[in-house]
Structure 1
Amino acid sequence: MSIEVKNITKFYKDQKALNNVSFSIKKGEIVGFLGPNGAGKSTMMKIITGFITASEGEVLVSNYNVKTDKLAAQKHIGYLPEHNPLYLEMYVKEYLLFNASIYKIPKVEVEKIIKKVGLTPEAHKKIKQLSKGYRQRVGLAAALLHNPNVLILDEPTTGLDPNQLIDIRALIKEIGKNKTVLFSTHIMQEVDAICDRVILINKGEIVADENLIELKKNQAQVIEVEFDYKIEKQFIETIPHLKCAENIYDTSWLLTFNTSKDMRPAVFDFAHDNGLKTLQLNTKNKNLESLFQELIPN
């Protein structure tokens, strides 16, 4: 495994930020670390990178213990923190060459990274002249310079405009083909667009760990329908493939089906056969958003 998190607990004085958190991530996975603000995402990432230490438990990165063999572990980690720290007065290429000198990396590798992350047109500009999207690219370039096995990205798309979002998403997906990527966010659409798997954290505890392909494959088909008259549940239950029916309000029903076949025509047929009109009909298939709402209510 590229990342192994074992029974991590973290206290800040009397406040427990993480409670017995465990998960593992293998090479080639892009994992979304999803949760509301204050859930413990950034704390967990700082522990993985060795920036802060856990109160209990251990973390292994490429089989190195982050606590007892921190420098060896950090050689395998590229980290883009939430507030991307950059020297704004430096030129892009100058900044990356400076970072390369710390790692004792040949200058030719800087040129390769600049091209890889799409910074070639901006390489001779000062960082303060760049848009936020390009500043994020500079941060990614710096994180990738030493060719780490593991990439830790803390809220990398916050504040980007739609075009910048598309570019950064594509870049992260490309990077994730041969690296392990742990991607922290509170935006579910980002996880859907980029990740193979999602780990949900709330109040310092893991509440779900799901493969997104399996989650989508196993979606329940849910239809919300409003008729023009009230109807008894026993009649609703005659609709084929119906798993359950919930009367949510007056003439409105939430119908869950155990088939992938589109059941909206069957609902229309049911209404017609029983002399009803459908005033409203919406599909509400279970997805990442509904899973989040189910496990992390307001």
Structure 2
Amino acid sequence: MFNEFTKKVNTKNYINLNLSITVLLLFIIFAQNKYMSIEVKNITKTYGEQKALDNVSFSVNKGEIVGFLGPNGAGKSTLMKILTTYLTSDEGSASVNGFDVSSAQKSVQQSVGYLPEHNPLYLDLYVREYLEFSADVHKTDKSRIEEVITLTGLTPECHKKIGELSKGYRQRVGLATALLHNPDVLILDEPTTGLDPNQLVEIRELIKNIGKDKTVFLSTHIMQEVEAICDRIIIINKGQIVEDALIADLGKNLEKVFREKTK
């Protein structure tokens, strides 16, 4: 009888131990997902005979500002379009804020603010009118419009049609649109292309300030921009990741690192 009692106690302890381990593992998985804004695993994308992305893997933590660098045609825009659900990969998986880009597209879109390389704007609309239209698309409260106008420095120009704005202010409209639904992650594809030196400084400062509260993943060809804004770089060349490092750990000229990794 004593042996039966001991057996029952041991069985109960074994079950409790298994439950504790299961709970611990679930907590670890949850904690990892909680602090991971972007997760890319073995992504491959092919156009005809050309591999635009070849088994690409990396992750971006919450609150990081990461520069995504590479020569023209290296695969930067393709990956960004996959992360924002505009394209699907041939192989591999990716998630944004824990939402799978293939099976939870709507949730990904709600989590991401995206500024594509060629900023698509309705030039005949006034700035505020365009933002009201975008708020309707996102089903966002229109009180948010004044917040993003102030945040992006659009106040002096918000009475104009978008077609009357300078390139710098059009980029601000694009950023305001990306921020309108208050996403946790910003994905910016060459956000400072074509800007003059003054506009460059203004947009860089804007992105840096936004990055205090959000995860920012941006592509650019301007090394000074990366050094001024980013915490970390990921370099892609011919569809493959060739460098992933904190800028502080590189210990040498970023332009030199880029040339070495993309020869």
Q: In the TM superposition, what are the counterparts of 1:108-257 in structure 2 within 5 Å?
A: 108-215=143-250, 219=251
Runs (4+) of structure 1 moved beyond 4 Å? none
Deviations for 1:71-94, whole angstroms, at most 9, x for unmatched residues? 111110000000000000000000
SS class of match (2:131): helix
Gaps of 5+ in 1: 220-285
Deviations for 1:131-180, whole angstroms, at most 9, x for unmatched residues? 00000000000000000011000011010000000000000000111111
Query: How many residues are treated as equivalent by the alignment?
Result: 228
Aligned-pair identity in percent equals 66
Gaps of 5+ in 2: 1-35
Distance in 2 of aligned mates of 1:46 and 1:53: 8
CA apart distance, 1:106: 1.8
- 1:40 is aligned to 2:75: yes
1:59 aligned residue (94, 111, 119): 94
2:253 aligned residue (287, 290, 294): 287
Deviations for 1:190-246, whole angstroms, at most 9, x for unmatched residues? 11111100000000000000101122xxx2xxxxxxxxxxxxxxxxxxxxxxxxxxx
Distance in 1 of aligned mates of 2:154 and 2:164: 13
SS class of match (2:192): coil
* TM-score, normalised by the number of residues in structure 1: 0.75
Structure of greater relative contact order (alpha carbons < 8 Å, 6+ residues apart): 2
Structure with greater strand percent: 1
CA apart distance, 1:26: 1.0
Distance in 2 of aligned mates of 1:73 and 1:107: 22
Which is higher, the Rg of structure 1 or of structure 2? Answer: 1
Distance in 1 of aligned mates of 2:181 and 2:256: 39
**1:26 is matched by which residue type in structure 2?**
N
CA contact (8 A) 1:198 1:212 kept: yes
Structure with greater helix percent: 2
Distance in 2 of aligned mates of 1:60 and 1:205: 19
Distance in 2 of aligned mates of 1:102 and 1:121: 25
SS class of match (1:110): helix
